């Protein structure tokens, strides 16, 4: 990997990016990578101060890291499950930098509970954060993208969207069905919405990061020594998202991709992050 730095005249210079769920993990990595290409990044999540969450990472930390490297970013607290927060997030982004060019829907909340025991309250919350929220945010940025004549909406999906096949893997009974339902719904949204806004020069894509060691996946014991060979570096998903964001909208749109195949198809290599 080459020495990480911010290029203010990079491929995304002058463009405005909103990244949800960017206090840690994949969202944080994406925010940093977009900033490296000169994007003005609106870093959003619920965690502003470390005392607000048991896992390490805050949107304040992400912004400070970007600024320390010479990039431009602001932190906007938003709970994606709340419509008023979603509206305020886009208003804050537009007030600071202008219409949004790139929307990365990465925020997630996940409960691994078998369907026979799944509480309705938690099911609704998961759909609000991972389905209704991203759809609403996509609607909120549409006018600005259309006026500017281009835009990118990117959804961070998961292999959980795929239908389970026999023989079922160990641990399947722990309950990942609702999570998979949310991701599958948004993959279909991505391809459908891509067809609707194609003539507006707005690209819509979904990409699955595969197994990535983040604070969340470690907490849920989704990554371990047994599946280490299947894991992808967090820099890979950040690079893939950056590649999509700097591509011509009509050339890369309506896709649902797994990270390994995507990186190979476009001959991409992850770079070290700021």
Catalytic residues: 179
Let me know: does 213 contact 234? Beta carbons within 8 Å. Answer: yes
Please choose, from the candidates 99, 81, 90, the residue with its C-alpha nearest in 3D space to the C-alpha of residue 144. 99
Residue 52, phi then psi, degrees to nearest 5: -90, -5
Which of the 8 DSSP states describes residue 211?
Answer: B
Query: In angstroms, rounded to a whole number, what is the distance separating the alpha carbons of residues 146 and 154?
Result: 16
Q: Which two tokens stand for residue 15?
A: 């463009």
Please choose, from the candidates 144, 52, 29, the residue with its C-alpha nearest in 3D space to the C-alpha of residue 93. 144
Q: Which two tokens stand for residue 221?
A: 């014991």
Total residues found in the chain within this entry:
274
The secondary structure of 223-270 as a DSSP string is: --GGGGGGB--HHHHHHHHHHHHHS-TTTS-S-EEEHHHHHHHTT---
Instruction: Give the H or E element holding residue 260.
Output: helix 259-265
Residue whose entry in the numeric block shows the structure tokens 């990535």 = 212
């Amino acid at each position: 990997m080459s020495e990480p730095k911010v290029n203010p005249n990079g491929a995304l210079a002058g463009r405005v990016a909103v990244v949800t769920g960017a206090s840690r993990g994949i969202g944080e990595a994406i925010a940093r990578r977009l900033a490296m290409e000169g994007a003005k990044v609106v870093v959003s999540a619920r965690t502003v101060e470390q005392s607000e969450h048991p896992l390490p990472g805050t949107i304040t930390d992400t912004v400070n890291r970007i600024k320390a490297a010479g990039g431009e970013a602001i932190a906007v607290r938003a709970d994606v499950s709340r419509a008023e927060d979603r509206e305020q997030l886009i208003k804050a982004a537009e007030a600071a930098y202008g219409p949004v060019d790139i929307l990365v829907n990465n925020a997630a909340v996940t409960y691994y509970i078998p369907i026979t025991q799944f509480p309705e309250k938690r099911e609704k919350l998961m759909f609000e954060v991972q389905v209704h929220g991203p759809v609403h945010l996509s609607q909120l940025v549409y006018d600005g993208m259309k006026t500017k004549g281009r835009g990118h909406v990117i959804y961070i999906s998961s292999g959980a969207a795929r239908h389970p096949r026999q023989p079922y893997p160990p641990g399947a009974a722990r309950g990942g069905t609702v999570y998979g339902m949310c991701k599958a719904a948004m993959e279909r949204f991505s391809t459908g919405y891509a067809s609707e806004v194609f003539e507006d020069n707005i690209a819509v894509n979904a990409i699955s990061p595969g197994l990535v060691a983040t604070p969340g996946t470690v907490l849920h014991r989704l990554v371990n020594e047994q599946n280490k060979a299947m894991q992808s570096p967090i820099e890979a998903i950040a690079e893939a998202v950056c590649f999509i964001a700097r591509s011509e909208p009509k050339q890369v749109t309506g896709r649902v991709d797994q990270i390994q195949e995507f990186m190979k198809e476009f001959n991409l290599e992850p770079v070290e992050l700021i």
